[in-house]
């Protein structure tokens, strides 16, 4: 792995663990096992490096979500696969957690990949639900866009509840709840 790659990966981990403010250049360099000038050799500064790390995290999250959402089965099964996929619930969502970081939200460049990723997820799930409704898997009253927003909100809120309780149980309960609501709209 190149020094630039180590810096990006170290920053990704630190942002997930500590947030932007808690991710100092010194901590990044220590985690990456890189020399003092290497960050500024590859990036213009902490913000530039954080942006590269956030973009990488966003791409990774999209790929992981897409693997579940593009799997076998109908719309319900694919959304179910996304909701039930393996997660490190107590660590939270590496993208969603950035929404709670005031420095990320205050910086339009850092905020953009966070917004785009969550917006993509809502849109992708909404498209799947719309396809399912069109194929007759769900009743005509299902609102794909609103339901997709509820699915994403349930996952993100489930992370918060689980972290507060220090157990994945609230996340699991929230997921089961949204699945039961979605199952109630199925026509088969």
d(CA 77, CA 164): 29
Question: Is 59 a domain residue?
Answer: yes
Closest by CA position to 61, among listed 99, 6, 35, 5: 99
Question: Is 161 a domain residue?
Answer: yes
Domain containing residue 166: 3-183
Out of 11-25, 119-133, 158-172, pick the least confident. Answer: 11-25
pLDDT in tens, 37-76: 889 899 999 999 999 999 999 999 999 999 999 999 999 9
What pLDDT, on the 0 to 100 scale, is given for residue 1?
84
What pLDDT, on the 0 to 100 scale, is given for residue 52?
97
d(CA 63, CA 60): 5
Averaged pLDDT, 2-31: 93
Q: Could you tell me which residues are beta bridge partners of residue 138?
A: 186
Averaged pLDDT, 175-185: 97
Percent of the chain with pLDDT over 90: 91
Closest by CA position to 171, among listed 97, 93, 103, 111: 93
Question: Is 8 a domain residue?
Answer: yes
Percent of the chain with pLDDT over 70: 100
Given a cut of 90, whether residue 104 has pLDDT beyond it is: yes
Question: Is 26 a domain residue?
Answer: yes
d(CA 32, CA 5): 9
Which CATH number does the domain housing residue 86 bear?
A: 1.10.357.10
Mean pLDDT of the chain: 95
Given a cut of 90, whether residue 36 has pLDDT beyond it is: no
Given a cut of 90, whether residue 176 has pLDDT beyond it is: yes
d(CA 145, CA 56): 27
What pLDDT, on the 0 to 100 scale, is given for residue 169?
98
The number of distinct structural domains making up the chain is 1
What pLDDT, on the 0 to 100 scale, is given for residue 153?
97
What pLDDT, on the 0 to 100 scale, is given for residue 4?
94
Question: Is 188 a domain residue?
Answer: no
Given a cut of 90, whether residue 8 has pLDDT beyond it is: yes
Confidence of residue 188 (pLDDT cuts 50, 70, 90): confident
Task: Give alpha helix (H) positions in the chain.
Answer: 3-18, 25-32, 38-42, 46-69, 75-84, 102-106, 108-134, 144-165, 169-183
Given a cut of 90, whether residue 135 has pLDDT beyond it is: yes
């Amino acid at each position: 792995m190149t020094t630039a790659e180590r810096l990006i990966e170290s920053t990704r981990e630190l942002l997930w663990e500590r947030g932007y403010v808690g991710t100092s250049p010194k901590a990044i360099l220590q985690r990456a096992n890189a020399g003092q000038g290497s960050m500024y050799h590859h990036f213009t500064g902490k913000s530039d490096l954080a942006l590269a790390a956030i973009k990488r995290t966003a791409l990774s999250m999209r790929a992981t979500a897409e693997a579940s959402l593009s799997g076998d089965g109908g719309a319900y099964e694919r959304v179910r696969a996304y909701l039930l996929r393996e997660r490190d619930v107590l660590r939270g969502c590496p993208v969603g957690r950035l929404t709670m970081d005031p420095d990320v939200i205050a910086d339009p460049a850092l905020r953009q990949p966070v917004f785009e990723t969550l917006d993509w997820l809502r849109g992708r799930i909404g498209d799947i639900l719309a396809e399912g409704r069109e194929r007759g898997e769900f009743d005509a009253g299902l609102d794909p866009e609103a339901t997709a927003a509820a699915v994403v909100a349930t996952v993100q809120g489930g992370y918060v509840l689980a972290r507060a309780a220090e157990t994945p149980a609230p996340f699991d309960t929230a997921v089961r709840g949204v699945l039961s609501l979605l199952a109630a709209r199925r026509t088969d």
